[in-house]
Amino acid sequence: MSERDPDAELVARVGTQDPVAVRTLVARKLPRLLALATRMLGDRMEAEDVAQEAFVRIWKQAPSWREGEARFDTWLHRVALNLCYDRLRGQREEPVAEMPDQADPAASPEVQFENRARDEQIRVALAALPARQREALVLNYYQELSNIEAAALMGITVDALESLLARARRNLRAQLAGSGFREDKS
Amino acid sequence: MTPERFHTIVEAYGADPRRWPEQERAAAQAWAAAHRAEADAALAESASVDAWLACDEVAPPDRSLQQRIVAGAPARRAPWFRHRMWWSGAALAGVGLTGGLAGALAVSFFLLAGATSPVHDSSYLTTGFGGSTADWSGE
C-alpha cells in the first residue's frame, strides 16, 4: 500500500489535541462508523455506544499514531468491529427487530408506512444473517471497502470473502422471496 | 475471464460493475458483452438483491452524539488560558516573595529594636580596659 493515508495528517493534528482537527475527524468518521455499527448490531443505541467507545480509542491512539503501519480507516474499522463482536457475544447474536423510526416527513402517511415496513424487513433480514456473512456484506457493500481491504480486515483470503458474500446474498434472496418484497415497489 | 469466474464475481459483488474487483472489471464486462444472454440472466438475479440492499439507509448521527464525542476528546488549553495561567503563577510568586521580604524586614526590625544596648552589656563580657562609662560616673 504505497498510497498516502488520507487521514494521517488529520490524525496527527488530533494527537496534538487540536480542537478543530477533533471536530473535523468526528464529522468525517462518525457517520460511517455509526452506519457500520448499526448494521452489524441492528440497534441504534448500541451502535451509538460503540461509536463513542471507538472515538475514545482514537483519542488514546492518536498521539502515538504512525503512518505506514496500517491505514487509519482500516484500523478504525477493526476497532469498531471488535466492539461490535463484544456486544454480539453478549447478545448471543439475537437479532433486534426494534429499530427507531426514520420516517420521511415529506412523504404521505401511506408511503411512510410502506417505507417503514420495507426498512424493517431489510434490517431484520440483515440481522438474521450469520455474523461473518453480515460483516463481509457490510464492509464490502455498505462501507465500500475493496475486496482486498475487507478480506484483510476480516483476516481471510479474498476467495473466502467472496464465498461469504455469495452466501450472504443467497440468504438475503431467500428471505426476499419469502417476504414478498418487490424491488420495483418504489 | 471464464464463465465460472464471471458468475462468481456477480454472485459475490452484485450486478453493478463499479463494485466488481478493479483488476477484473474490464475483462468481466467484456465477457458479459460477448455472452449477453447468459450474463443478463446472472445480472438480473443479482440486481434484485442489490436493489433491496440499496434501500437500507442509516440515519446520520444527531448533533448531541457528535457533541458528546467531541466533549470526550482530550482538550488542549487555549493560548489565552495558558498565558493567563503564566501571569497568575508569576503574580502568585511575586506576592509570596513580597510577603517573605516583608516578614524578613519585620523580624529584623524587632530584633534590632529588642537588642540590648552596649551600655548594659553584662560585666562578664567586658574587660578591664573596656568598662562602661557608667562605672566612671562617680569619679
Q: The domain A101-186 is classified under which CATH number: 3.40.50.410, 1.10.10.10, 3.40.50.1100, 3.40.50.300?
A: 1.10.10.10
Chain A partners of B42 at a C-beta cutoff of 8 Å?
Answer: none
pTM: 0.72
User: Which residue would you say has higher pLDDT here, A120 or B105?
Assistant: A120
What's the confidence (pLDDT) of residue A184? Answer: 40
% of chain A surpassing 90 pLDDT: 65
Query: Residues with Cβ < 8 Å from A35, sequence gap 6 or more?
Result: A142, A143, B58
What's the confidence (pLDDT) of residue A183? Answer: 44
Q: Does B66 touch chain A (CB under 8 A)?
A: yes
What's the confidence (pLDDT) of residue A165? Answer: 98
ipTM value, please give it. 0.80
What's the confidence (pLDDT) of residue A120? Answer: 81
What's the confidence (pLDDT) of residue A2? Answer: 57
Shortest distance between the Cα of B4 and any Cα of chain A, in A, equals: 13
Question: Is the pLDDT assigned to residue A153 strictly greater than 90?
Answer: yes
Q: Report domain extents, chain A.
A: 1-94, 101-186
Residue A91 identity = Q
Mean pLDDT across B90-119: 66
Chain A partners of B22 at a C-beta cutoff of 8 Å?
Answer: 146
What's the confidence (pLDDT) of residue B98? Answer: 76
C-alpha cell at B82: 495558558
Mean pLDDT across A18-23: 95
Neighbours of B48 (CB within 10 A): 20
Residue with cell 461490535: A84
What's the confidence (pLDDT) of residue B16? Answer: 96
Q: Tell me yes or no: is domain A1-94 CATH 1.10.1740.10.
A: yes
